[in-house]
Structure 1
Amino acid sequence: MASGFSVEPNVALRRLGSLVLVFALIGGLPIFARIIGAQFLPSTAWVSHSVWLAWGSGIFCAVFFTVMFMRNKPLVEPDMRPFMYILLIIFSPIFFGSLGKDAIVAGAPMLYTMVAGKPTELQYVVERATGFSDRKCRNDIELMDMPSMYDRLCGFPKDFRDSLRPGQTLIVSGHGSSLGTFVTSAHVAGQ
């Protein structure tokens, strides 16, 4: 006896899932670049113009992956403890939301810069140039009006960092575009 429900997989949902997965992969590119030692900064103009698109992408990815996870998993599985299930439900929106947001803020500009980039200079304003150095970011220089993960310059000499003051404008050079740059050097504007 035939039922009124389709047994075929939902093609539109699968295509939407593939699109969201592409967004998550693009959002992971800046993280991968940082792991291999490349430092990419999106431009301040791109960050300010794309803020709502980035938040929308982040929220969409967070909701989509969480709903798909909950839809495909029974509430209690023999091999999954309830505590782990609750942790996955709590942290999957945070994880996939940040990947979706990063896809717009830095991933797409990074891809564009890799393909169409040329030697370029972008301006950033110093927020703070003091603090502790760590393994992840040696002699960090914090930048104003930039999203977290993309608000620091790392690896510059301590003398250079110590000479900077809040509010100074830095000219950051590297392989880039109007959307961002792979940082190779920096100097204070007007010097």
Structure 2
Amino acid sequence: MDPCWRAALLLLLLPALKNAAWGAPTSAPVQPGSCEQYTNKTCKECLKNVTCLWCTSNKKCIEYPVRSILPPSSLCALSSARWGTCEVNFEALIITMSVVGGGIIIALFVCCCCCCRKKKSKIPDKEEEKAAREKEQRRVRQEERRAEMKSRHDEIRKKYGLFKEENPYAKFENN
């Protein structure tokens, strides 16, 4: 090992070696407002500080490890970890949040699909407009042909004397 690295390592370990040599504890003293002061007390007292995590298995109050999203199992098992509320363990909290979050995402997806489908059906595309125009043109031509055929048939009936006059009593029969 390089002498520079040895010197750096010695400087880093010097405070720990000094405490061990003099019989002093290697952990830092409990500072007021830190989570360690609530160890062996109640969960509610520990969780008053939002940065604390309560472990029910060993009744320890520890700082929540913010660098990792979930507390590591070496610190406290998820089934015995409490954060935010003493009634729900961290494992149940994660499952509940996942289900609620998934439900919200699915609901948003369904709403977006429904809205897009309604919007698409409201705005007719060019092919639908063209088909509707052609259908209307065919209907108009058919009506014209019907009227033309009826007038021709009426002329033929008049020519051969088959044209029936309206019955003058027809209006009385309908009442």
Same topology, TM > 0.5: no
Q: Which has the higher helix share?
A: 2
Q: Which has the higher strand share?
A: 1
Name the TM-score, length of structure 2 as normaliser: 0.21
